[in-house]
Structure 1
């Protein structure tokens, strides 16, 4: 799914969230007219989306690099981003009906109120993301000549020699020249179904096809392989020397 389409879908979901909040009127907002509630909650919902969404994207990208579970990083990102989101809500409330600085207790109460809503919406987006994951499929049979068995598990429009495999929780993301998808399987099982395709496990959560490597980028002691399609794969420090000896770097 392209990033532009993902943002459009996210904005549509947030529009629905804003309408629901306007109808419910949580945290004392029900006392206002519906029109005012609708404007307020749509504004807060979209402000939250454009604060939380980049943080969730960053958490997803950092999870394999830090070798940390993605849901845990989502939770940490949610806790952090709730701080500026609380400031946004306070500014909006100040302009609306609270012409005074909040006390520490009021600030903490507002933080936790914002955190509750932010966590619920983040959980909603997590659920939507998981729903887009490809369902598990039976063991693949030998498929098209020249392509590994793993390709048979992919949607028809993605069936091509994999560029890389990326572990995400209990799933493996298969990157191909046509895009990527998630498969519910273990990394070692996915690698086994590559049928000896030239490549290597360059990181505990990444397998990379040798033919897809276009270069390498170094940042101090960290090395990332630059792959076809603009993909970058981290290299575990223990793998740098073997890959250099094999001519990968």
Structure 2
């Protein structure tokens, strides 16, 4: 994910939100300045909310990934809690601007709404960034394939398959003809699944468990609540204490849930990469 692109998308979205609020002029601000002045003042206040709430989203997302706790519950709770210091900051520094509100108690609901708005902007920007990343993904980077994930030829329509041919996973039928197979990993991204190939990836609108089901009999394991990997798709494994991070053949990195490490080791899922652990 390109974080600079992501931040620029979020700033652009926050500017649009500031323009809309500045046009409406709520809380008695409509008569205080002209349109551009209102937009600038609302931009500054909303960016104050952004600076406080956005790190909170990153923090609670990281905690959810590290602990395998429900991500949405943690992130929404963190955003809700961040609205309290935001309301306190606004009540101290911008009481004159929010003269239509009554102190901390009156500003708090608006701070909660602003915090939720920042979360909505972050979710929307992430979806836009994922689509851009899929469109800009390299299509011709050479990657050495492991034998376990050697490409499966797509059968031509109407052609008969021989008993020795591997059956094509149903998931491949959802992908474009230009997808550089085979499928080496599946990654859950909000309401989408990113299907990783050896030279790029594509987004499919479906649930991760449904995508795993459509991989049929392809050998693989779910290593994290957001990741499934095919056997032989691992380029390297890094270990730091009980934590494991996997690098796939296409260069993508994925976490391994702590409670899945023992199960995967028993199945020798990392066996070919044990010598690379650092």
User: Common fold, TM-score beyond 0.5?
Assistant: yes
Q: CA deviation at 1:184?
A: 1.1
Which whole-Å deviations, capped at 9, do the CAs of 1:5-60 have from their partners, x for residues lacking one? 33222222111101111122223333411243222101122333344334434545
CA distance in 2, matches of 1:186, 1:161: 17
Moved more, 60-69 or 44-53: 60-69
CA distance in 2, matches of 1:132, 1:156: 23
Q: CA deviation at 1:158?
A: 4.8
The TM-score normalised by the length of structure 2 is 0.65
- 2:140 alignment partner in structure 1: none
- 2:28 alignment partner in structure 1: 28
Q: CA deviation at 1:204?
A: 4.3
CA distance in 2, matches of 1:82, 1:179: 37
- 2:120 alignment partner in structure 1: 123
Q: CA deviation at 1:191?
A: 2.3
Which whole-Å deviations, capped at 9, do the CAs of 1:121-159 have from their partners, x for residues lacking one? 42355456568889xxxxxxx973687442332355654
Please show how residues 176-191 of structure 1 align to structure 2 within 5 Å.
Answer: 176=197, 177-187=199-209, 189-191=210-212
Compared CA separation, residues 214 and 62, structure 1 to 2 (3 A): farther
Q: Which has the larger radius of gyration?
A: 2
Structure with more of its chain in helix, by fraction: 1
CA distance in 2, matches of 1:214, 1:227: 5
CA distance in 1, matches of 2:178, 2:2: 14
User: Which structure 2 segments of 5+ residues have no match?
Assistant: 132-151, 156-165
- 2:149 alignment partner in structure 1: none
- 1:3 alignment partner in structure 2: 3
Contact preservation (8 Å) 1:65, 1:234: no
CA distance in 1, matches of 2:231, 2:185: 9
What SS is found at the alignment partner of 2:265? Answer: helix
Q: How many residue pairs align between the two structures?
A: 234
Compared CA separation, residues 9 and 192, structure 1 to 2 (3 A): same
Task: Say whether 1:202 aligns with 2:223.
Answer: yes
Ranked by relative contact order (alpha carbons within 8 Å, sequence separation 6 or more), the top structure is 2
Say which of 167, 174, 177 aligns to 1:153: 174
What SS is found at the alignment partner of 1:166? Answer: strand
Moved more, 231-240 or 82-91: 82-91
Compared CA separation, residues 80 and 234, structure 1 to 2 (3 A): farther
Compared CA separation, residues 152 and 221, structure 1 to 2 (3 A): same
What SS is found at the alignment partner of 1:30? Answer: coil
User: Which structure 1 segments of 5+ residues have no match?
Assistant: 99-104, 135-141
